[in-house]
Chains A and B, each alone.
Chain A
Amino acid sequence: MADILAFAETRGGALRPVAGEVVATARKLADQMGGQVVAVVVGGPGSAEAASGLSRFGADRILVCEAESLSLYQPDAAVELLASVTESVAPGAILFPASAQGKDLAARVAARLDVALGSEATEIVLEDGNPVISRPMYGGKAYGRFRFLDSPALISIRPNVFPATVDPREAVVESLAPVDVSPRTRVVAVEAAERAALDVREAPVVVAGGRGLQDAGNWQLLEDLVDALGDEATLGASRAVVDAGWRPHSEQVGQTGKVVSPNLYFAVGISGAIQHLAGMRTAGVIVAVNKDAEAPIFGVANYGVVGDLFEVLPRLTEEIRAARRSGG
């Protein structure tokens, strides 16, 4: 019997989408291990109220540390809070989102607790009562299965892979007093990207463009497709177009960009270099549009259209609009 701690990330007093995935994954694990799900929320004003929503995903206890000083991520305070909660709950595992904040925090907590961390897990199962994870390595060229030799097992889960299954509980919300630390690392501000779009790592649908688009000005074609696909969709890019300065690095998919696992990935005018595939081969459904029938992207695509993207894209946008209008 062991409880599972779930670090539920907030920003600006609201839960981030991955928070539901982390808590729901913890719920599954707790059911198998016969324990409770203890969600931990650290954030600024509004966090406690937002946190109560975690009962929907199966949290039994919700521990909230809400303070003005925690409005931005404060790693030193967060590490000490998690260390003290770990001491009182003695969990069998601690789950984090493999987000920018989750990865940073998980590594610090692992060193603080002197236990191992398994990053970006895409599967968690129980073997002999202990968690075993699978995680992509070598840019997705191989998958490793790992067993933890000590407790708690620290695991960060890849966004968009584990479902945020609804499994409501009557949760108790308890408040945690901030621990007194003099912060060494000070997060002083957050700058939002110009486009307040979904991050490419967390979007369920990604429309990615490559050098085949020929010019930054042609991105309107991809934006139209994103628009047709609705608010779950966002843009991605190959490194070639990021290096050309057509798109920001934050959109780059691949080994030196972001690793994405959307349900649906459009690769438009992207050849499918091995470093690009490293970033998107775990997508659910891959659609490739390329004029070169030999392009390696077709080797991983579920569906391919061979042709000139300047003809295919407008038609695709139109047909998808029509399909969604007819209740798709």
Chain B
Amino acid sequence: MRSIVCIKRVPDSEARLRVAADGLAIESSGVKFSMNPYDEFALEEALRLKEQFGEGSVTAITVGPDDSRETLRSALAMGADEGVLLRSAGSYDGLAIARALADEITTREYDLVLFGKQAIDDDGMQVPAMVAQLLSLPCATVVVDLQIEGGIATAKREIEGGHEIVEFDLPGVVAAQKGLNEPRYPSLKGIMAAKRKPLDEKDIVLVEPKIELLTLTPPPARPEPQIVGEGADAVPELVRRLREEAKVL
């Protein structure tokens, strides 16, 4: 199984974030960055498929600034065979990113293109299906189970109140949701080996965005918290406030 995995470097989910002075970005100094957690599920699935079929390759691709090299190295340490850095500034337009990825993917041979279901920075939830549409590939998003047999993929995707079973002929696109697998930690051997694996870098220019960020602001403040009281005795007062003050009961 030859897989391409699209990964993104994002602020770690633990990170406390502040809006930068220009109001157009997150203050990145002092912030820890990691591989997007959903992309770890995608990468793990690609590694497992290669192991399962006993042959194939795993290529990790990212669009981003120089720092994204680090994220590719983590992917190589987990077990990817090669990394590709498409160096450019980011874009808030998911379609611009999708185009850059599609342009690169189309030059390669593959059976499967894997993504995370969502990047936890822009929370766009769009790049995977866009790439599929641009490349005229079948696609299943929010996938929690994937089986491949005889060139046909069967994916289970999460929907409200259940799952959809999606089938398609390879090659195709899958976007991973938590639950798909348990990503491995890179071994020391993996980390050492990663240093010798190929990491290709090229400068690219993204297409002009069709959406523009006007301002980035902290989330609207929540009302001042109130501690109603302690223990079960506080319950009548809580219920009273929920009815009379908040009017939600």
Chain A interface residues (CB < 8 Å from chain B): 16, 72-73, 75, 79, 98-101, 103-104, 106-108, 110-112, 114-120, 132, 135-150, 184-193, 196-199, 201-202, 205, 249-250, 252, 255-257, 263-264, 274-275, 278, 281-282, 284-287, 293, 298-308, 311-312, 314-316, 319-320, 323-324, 328
Contact = CB atoms under 8 A, between A and B. Distances in A.
Nearest to A105: B129
A109 to B, nearest CB: 8
B198 to A, nearest CB: 30
A137 to B, nearest CB: 5
A307 B223 CA distance: 22
B126 A117 contact: yes
A108 B123 contact: no
11 contacts: A111-B95, A117-B95, A137-B121, A142-B19, A142-B26, A185-B172, A304-B225, A307-B231, A311-B232, A319-B238, A323-B249
B93 interface: yes
B130 interface: yes
Main secondary structure of the interface of A (DSSP, over half): mixed
Interface stretch (B75-83, B162-170, B184-192): B162-170
Contacts of A140: 219
A256 to B, nearest CB: 5
A187 B164 contact: yes
Given A111-B95, A111-B130, A142 B17 contact: yes
Given A75-B139, A100-B160, A107-B128, A184 B26 contact: no
B246 A302 contact: yes
B209 interface: yes
Nearest to B121: A138
Given A319-B235, A324-B249, A107 B130 contact: yes
Contacts of A264: 242, 246, 248-249
